[in-house]
Structure 1
């Protein structure tokens, strides 16, 4: 099964903290991202944190972590938080695709599933943030119609500090206010 086949037929699955070892395995295959963000490889604690890291005014039950499996195990994850920072606005807090699958349309296919899922549950807008130094990620999101909302930071990620670009996209024909 190819990565593209896996993106359409092997997910999404709702993941829980019990899947943290599989998430860590994916993180190990995405070491380039974690070296960029943190300056060091991801740990099991980082994989577990995916399920609990939400703003203090929200609860982990407000977040859904989805996963897609391929022939090498978990090939992508996406974590989306509903109604944050306000009702109808959902926050894609994290999405990562196996490094071996990048550049093949997998990220776009997975995002499409996440967006449809969120719209079906009331999302009118999705927001996300990318590291300012991650030009490839920013170009990817802008190619999907995201526009810059603001720049934030710097924020500390383990051994590194980064500014982030917060992006937003209106859904379902919504027009900007």
Structure 2
């Protein structure tokens, strides 16, 4: 799909599924907020992850692996809709990097390149939603230039959550 100096963002291959599962497990705050899981390992199963990937594809989302070029190791996931079923706009559904690789600029690098890729495709904007409790993610997306435009309720396995909807205009 696209590359950066250190990353390739491309479809997830079978050989990457174990690494992808470790990405999810390494982010217990995400699992707590979305899945309601508080004890991590063994509760969010590999089968659940595979189900979630299948549901993503059935609903028109495109899950991509964030792969480190130096060793071809999958270190994250980026998922997007080219056209959301709710408003017809492009949405970035998820960007998650393995905890051991966070705070090294990989997330920012993938996000910035994704936004350039979206602009190259002619998308006027990209939208995303952040669970209100996820303060770190809100700060991350604000720093990249996303702006809030509304708050919605959304049902997750963990229950109903307030989601802050944000947008980034690709053409300035």
Q: Could you tell me the TM-score, scaled by structure 1's length?
A: 0.77
- Aligned CA RMSD, in angstroms, stands at 2.6
Shift of residue 152 of structure 1? Answer: 0.8
Aligned equivalent of 2:46: 44
Residues 107-158 of structure 1, C-alpha deviations (whole Å, 9 max, x = no match): 1101012112222223111011011001111111111111111111152x22
82 and 18 in structure 1: CA distance in 2 versus 1, 3 angstrom threshold = farther
SS at the partner of 1:46? helix
Q: Check conservation: 1:7, 1:68, Cα contact below 8 A.
A: no
24 and 81 in structure 1: CA distance in 2 versus 1, 3 angstrom threshold = same
Aligned equivalent of 1:91: 91
SS at the partner of 1:145? coil
1:134 partnered with 2:134 = yes
52 and 24 in structure 1: CA distance in 2 versus 1, 3 angstrom threshold = same
Residues 83-127 of structure 1, C-alpha deviations (whole Å, 9 max, x = no match): 22455x311111101112222222110101211222222311101
Distance 1:126 1:49 in 2: 26
| Equivalent of residue 30 in structure 2, options 8, 13, 33 | 33
Q: Check conservation: 1:147, 1:168, Cα contact below 8 A.
A: yes
Aligned equivalent of 1:3: none
Q: Check conservation: 2:65, 2:76, Cα contact below 8 A.
A: yes
Aligned equivalent of 1:75: 75
158 and 18 in structure 1: CA distance in 2 versus 1, 3 angstrom threshold = farther
Aligned equivalent of 2:124: 124
Aligned equivalent of 2:143: 143
SS at the partner of 1:52? helix
Unpaired stretches in structure 2, ≥5 consecutive residues: none
Q: Check conservation: 1:125, 1:169, Cα contact below 8 A.
A: yes
Aligned equivalent of 2:168: 169
Q: Check conservation: 1:16, 1:65, Cα contact below 8 A.
A: no
Distance 2:72 2:15 in 1: 18
96 and 24 in structure 1: CA distance in 2 versus 1, 3 angstrom threshold = same
